[in-house]
């Protein structure tokens, strides 16, 4: 198990790094003690503290939960409904950590590592007395036990910040229209009149037309309780609904432009970076976009013969050249 390099967009790398440091802390300290020059000396002073060890173990426990959500959101074809369900499970898991048993486990692990590496335990924190000019009085200042200080100001505080951040990132109020659209396409449950009115008003569509199209689509969908967006699109096209259900067809196009995560966008930009490196920025925008599309969708099998045939068929002169080349090839083979 070796130390991992950090990546801004790869949270799994951060989890692996935390796990390695927490499990190989003694070996890391021994290595830095051997070097003890420059940055190694400064780093050694930083990590040989109770505060560092406690927060490494705390964040390892947190990332152990959030890493599951991170991996799920990196999958292709994840719907927003599925993402919200995973987010709710993650938040409940983090909420379940807010108890004394979880804190005591992290505290005891930290104390054991400090004892093994001769690191001092934390001191008690003295509560600051509020000055008289700010409304305070002659109140005797009290001290807060180190364990209580870490429980209140670190353990619970970190969990509260993470839970709040996840809730803000996946705020259902701001995603309500998208969730309704997914419910319309991905389940056999009928949307009520109020939900249909919200969609029609938000996207400036005809309510009566959308209501009738929903009934037509849901009846055709039959007993399929839950499908993903790819299967819904395939079902939609195979039944030629894209030609007859105009409002739902427009909604489906909109739904495809709203990703549940940024992974596909990141993969597209990674492909673009590689292409621009290979061709050294000597191509135009249209050709670059076409090459990027081919690279991004490289999992599809392409019949190059059919492409060449279609290309030359649009130009009489090129068509004649192709016929001559085929004739020469066949002549040489015989």
pLDDT, tens digit, 9 for 90 and up, residues 216-229: 999 888 877 677 88
- Residue 2 pLDDT: 57
Q: Say whether pLDDT at 154 is over 70.
A: yes
Mean pLDDT of 128-144: 58
Mean pLDDT of 328-333: 45
Rounded CA gap, 198 and 210, in Å? 11
Query: For all residues of the chain together, what is the average pLDDT?
Result: 78
Q: Which two tokens stand for residue 67?
A: 């890493």
Report which of residues 296 and 173 the model is more confident about.
Answer: 296
- Residue 18 pLDDT: 82
Mean pLDDT of 203-213: 91
Q: Say whether pLDDT at 291 is over 70.
A: yes
Which tens digit of pLDDT belongs to each residue from 61-119? 998 899 888 888 877 777 788 888 888 999 999 999 999 999 999 999 999 988 888 88
Q: Say whether pLDDT at 174 is over 50.
A: yes
- Residue 160 pLDDT: 94
CA nearest to 80, candidates 12, 163, 171, 8: 171
b or e along 155-189 (b: 16 or more beta carbons within 10 Å of the residue's beta carbon)? beebbeebbeebeeebeeeebebbebbbebbbbee
Q: Which residues pair with 10 in a beta bridge?
A: 7
Phi and psi dihedrals of 149, rounded to 5?
-60, -45
| Secondary-structure percent of the chain, ordered helix, strand, coil, rounded to 5 | 70, 0, 25
Q: Say whether pLDDT at 132 is over 60.
A: yes
Rounded CA gap, 242 and 1, in Å? 53
- Residue 31 pLDDT: 85
Q: Say whether pLDDT at 3 is over 80.
A: no
Q: Say whether pLDDT at 246 is over 80.
A: yes
Q: Is 10 helix (H, G, I), strand (E, B) or coil?
A: strand
- Residue 332 pLDDT: 46
Confidence class for position 270, pLDDT limits 50, 70, 90: low
- Range of lowest pLDDT (48-52, 151-155, 271-275, 313-317): 271-275
Q: Say whether pLDDT at 292 is over 90.
A: no
Q: Which residues pair with 187 in a beta bridge?
A: 226
- Range of lowest pLDDT (30-39, 235-244, 256-265, 323-332): 323-332
Determine which helix (DSSP H) or strand (DSSP E) holds 141, and give its type and residue range.
Answer: none
Taking the domains of the chain in order of start, what are their residue ranges? 11-169, 176-256, 263-333
b or e along 22-46 (b: 16 or more beta carbons within 10 Å of the residue's beta carbon)? beebeebbeebeeeeeeeeeeebee
- Residue 334 pLDDT: 45
């Amino acid at each position: 198990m070796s130390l991992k390099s950090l990546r801004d967009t790869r949270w799994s790398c951060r989890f692996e790094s935390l796990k390695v440091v927490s499990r190989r802390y003694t070996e890391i300290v021994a290595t830095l003690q051997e070097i003890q020059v420059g940055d190694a000396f400064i780093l050694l002073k930083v990590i040989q503290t109770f505060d560092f060890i406690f927060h490494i173990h705390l964040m390892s426990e947190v990332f152990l939960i959030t890493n599951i959500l991170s991996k799920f959101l990196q999958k292709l074809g994840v719907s927003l409904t599925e993402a919200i369900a995973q987010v709710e499970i993650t938040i409940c898991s983090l909420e379940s950590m807010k108890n004394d048993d979880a804190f005591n486990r992290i505290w005891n692990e930290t104390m054991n590592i400090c004892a093994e590496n001769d690191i001092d335990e934390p001191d008690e924190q003295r509560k600051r007395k509020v000055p008289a000019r700010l409304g305070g009085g002659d109140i005797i200042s009290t001290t807060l036990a180190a364990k209580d200080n870490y429980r209140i100001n670190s353990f619970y505080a970190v969990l509260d910040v993470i839970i709040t951040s996840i809730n803000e990132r996946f705020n259902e109020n701001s995603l309500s229209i998208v969730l309704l659209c997914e419910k319309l396409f991905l389940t056999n449950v009928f949307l009520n009149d109020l939900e249909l009115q919200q969609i029609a008003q938000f996207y400036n569509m005809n309510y009566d037309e959308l209501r009738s199209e929903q009934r037509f689509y849901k009846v055709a969908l039959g007993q399929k309780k839950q499908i993903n967006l790819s299967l819904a699109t395939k079902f939609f096209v195979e039944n030629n609904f894209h030609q007859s259900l105009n409002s739902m067809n427009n909604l489906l196009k909109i739904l495809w432009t709203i990703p549940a995560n940024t992974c596909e966008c990141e993969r597209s930009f990674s492909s673009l970076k590689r292409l621009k490196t290979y061709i050294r920025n000597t191509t135009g925008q249209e050709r670059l976009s076409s090459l990027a599309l081919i690279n991004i969708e490289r999992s599809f099998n392409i019949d190059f013969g059919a492409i060449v045939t279609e290309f030359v068929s649009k130009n009489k002169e090129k068509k004649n050249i192709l016929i001559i080349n085929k004739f020469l090839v066949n002549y040489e083979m015989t």
